[in-house]
Amino acid sequence: MNKKQLSVRLQGEPVGILEQTVTGKMIFSYDSSATQVVSVGMPIREQPYNDARCEAYFGGLLPESDTAKKAIGMQYGISHGNSFALLKAIGYDCAGAISFHEMSEPVVSQSSVTLEGKIVTEEDLYTHIKALPKKPLFLGFEGLRLSLAGVHDKAAVCIIDGKITLPIDGCPTTHILKPAVSAFEGIVENEYVCLQLAAQIGLPVPHVEIRQAKEISYLLVERYDRRIQNNKIARIHQEDFCQALGVVSARKYQNEGGPNFLDCFNLLRDTTQPAINRNKLAEAMVFNFFIGNMDAHSKNFSLLHTTPSQLELAPFYDMLCTRFYPSLTAKMAMKIGSKYEADRVLPKHWEQLCADIQYAYPALKRLISAQGEYILKVMTENKAFYTDVTKNAFIVNALVERITKNIIRILEQFQD
C-alpha cells in the first residue's frame, strides 16, 4: 500500500513530510536538512510529531466552518473531516509561507515570485461573492487551491494596479476579501471603522478599504504575511496563537479549554523583543475591551516569523465591535481576572489579570486611561471621515455612540 504523504514546504523549500497513517492519524517529520520551524510549538527534532500536535497546527490552517469543509469535500470527493485530504486539495496557498505538495512535485523556490493574476470584472466578482456559501474561498474558480482559517465566508485575491485579480501560475494572494453578512447589518463598516481607529491610535493593523461589487460591499484587507517589491511577491511565515500553543481551532475559546491571557503573554517571552511585544498585546487587549470586541480569541492573534531566527507579534486583525449586535454574546473569549462578562469587569479584575500575567498594574491603569481618552478624541475628529468612506452615516453614528458609551463607563471606574 502506498503511503499517503505530502511534502511540506516553506517558501517552496521542503522542510518535512506530513503523513496520514492507516488509522487516519497525521504525523509530521522534519527533513534532516530543515533549518526553519513550521511552528514555535514544533521545534526541529528527529522524533515525529503526533496527530494531536498536527491537528492543532496543520488543521489550524483550514476553514473552521463545517459548511465550508463540506463544500470543499464535495468539490474534491473527500471527507470534510479529513484534514490531511483537505490540505492536499487546497493547501497550496495558506496563511504564512507554508504549502503542501505531492511528493513527486518538483521543488521550486517561492522566496520571491512574479505577481500575476487574471482581472476579475465586477460582474464576475459579484457572482463569485454570491456563491461563497456554496463555494468557499472561491472554490473551483480558476483552479484556485488556497486555504484561510476562520468561520465566516471570505476569499483571497491579488490586487494588481488597484484591480481585483485571481492569482495565476502559483502566485500567492495579496489581500483577503470579506463580504457583508446579511445577519449582521453594517459588519463591513463596523470592522473598517474599528481597524481604522486602531491604526489612528498607533496599533499595528493591516491596511483596509471598502469596495463594492454591485450592491454588495466588502472589506479588502491587505495581507501582512506577504511582501511585494518591484512586482515580486514573497510569503512571510506566520502562525496564530492556537497553532503555536498546540490547541485545535475547535477549542480556541478559553471557556472550552483554550488559551487564556497568561498563555498568550507567556508565548511572547520567546519573541525577539518580548517586552515590546507584551506591551503591544496589552494595548490590543485594552482596545478590544474598549470597542466591545468579545470575540478576541487566541486565533485572532498571531506570530510572524520574519526570518528563521526572528519572531514578532503580528499586526492585529479581526477587530470589530461585536457588542453592536444584540444577538451576539456579552461574554469575552478570554476572561479578565475572574470575569468573562465584560459589564462585570472592575478595576480589581484588571489587577488580578496583571498579577497573573506578571504585568505592572500601575502601567496598565495608565494605558487604560490614556488609550480611552485618545480613542474618544480620535473618534470625534474622524467621524465625518468614517461616514464619507463607508457611505453609511447611520451605522457609523450608532457604532461611535456605542463605543463612546462603553469607554466612558470604563474610564469612570478608574477615576480616583
As to burial, measured by CB atoms within 10 angstroms (0-12 exposed, 13-18 middle, 19+ buried), residue 350 is buried
State the Cα–Cα distance between residues 127 and 144, nearest whole angstrom.
Answer: 16
pLDDT at 136: 73
Exposure pattern of 247-267 as b/e (b: 16+ CB <10 Å)? bbbebbbbeeebbbbebbbbb
Q: What is the DSSP letter of 286?
A: H
Q: Give the orientation angle of helix 393-413 with respect to helix 274-291, to 10 degrees.
A: 110
Bridge partner list, 42: 39
Amino acid letter, residue 51: D
pLDDT at 37: 96
With 70 as the cut, is the pLDDT of residue 54 above it? yes
Average pLDDT of the chain, as a whole number: 93
Cell of residue 30, nine digits? 522534519
Q: What is the DSSP letter of 95?
A: S
pLDDT at 104: 92
Q: Alpha carbon of 358 to those of 108, 242, 265, 282, 382: distances in Å?
A: 45, 21, 9, 12, 36
State the Cα–Cα distance between residues 386 and 384, nearest whole angstrom.
Answer: 6
pLDDT at 139: 66
Q: Collapse the DSSP code of 61 into the 3-class scheme (helix H, G, I; strand E, B; otherwise coil) and give the result.
A: helix
With 80 as the cut, is the pLDDT of residue 111 above it? no
pLDDT at 396: 96
The yes-or-no answer on residue 66 being catalytic is: no
The mean pLDDT of 340-364, rounded to a whole number, is: 97
Around 70, how many Cα atoms within 13 Å sit in the side-chain half-sphere?
5
Task: Decide: 178 and 206 in contact? Cβ < 8 Å.
Answer: no
Around 307, how many Cα atoms within 13 Å sit in the side-chain half-sphere?
3
**What's the pLDDT band for 35 if we cut at 50, 70, 90?**
very high
Q: Collapse the DSSP code of 274 into the 3-class scheme (helix H, G, I; strand E, B; otherwise coil) and give the result.
A: helix
Predicted TM-score (pTM) above 0.85: yes
**What's the pLDDT band for 2 if we cut at 50, 70, 90?**
low
Q: What are phi and psi of 305, to 5 degrees?
A: -90, 85
**What torsion, rounded to 10 degrees, do the Cα atoms 207, 245, 95, 61 define?**
-130
pLDDT digits (tens, 9 = 90+) for 57-79: 999 999 998 888 998 898 889 99
Which residues are CB-neighbours of 215 under 8 A, at least 6 positions away? none
The share of the chain scoring above pLDDT 70, in percent, equals: 97
Which residues are CB-neighbours of 183 under 8 A, at least 6 positions away? none
Task: Decide: 9 and 99 in contact? Cβ < 8 Å.
Answer: yes
State the Cα–Cα distance between residues 186 and 173, nearest whole angstrom.
Answer: 26
The DSSP-derived string for 168-184 is -TTPPP-EEEEE-BTTB
Residue in this structure with the C-alpha cell 475628529, named with its chain if needed: 381
**What's the pLDDT band for 157 if we cut at 50, 70, 90?**
very high
With 90 as the cut, is the pLDDT of residue 256 above it? yes
The share of the chain scoring above pLDDT 90, in percent, equals: 81
Catalytic position from the list 51, 93, 295, 318:
295
- Which CATH fold topology does 113-227 show? Phosphorylase Kinase; domain 1 (3.30.200)
State the Cα–Cα distance between residues 80 and 77, nearest whole angstrom.
Answer: 9
pLDDT at 261: 98
Helix, strand, coil shares of the chain, percent, nearest 5, are 40, 25, 35
| Lowest-pLDDT range of 35-49, 97-111, 361-375 | 97-111
**What's the pLDDT band for 346 if we cut at 50, 70, 90?**
very high
Backbone conformation region of residue 337, classed left if phi is above 0, alpha if psi is from -120 to 50, else beta: left
pLDDT at 133: 80
Bridge partner list, 336: 339
The mean pLDDT of 172-201, rounded to a whole number, is: 95
Across the beta sheet with 310-313, the strand order is 237-240, 302-307, 310-313
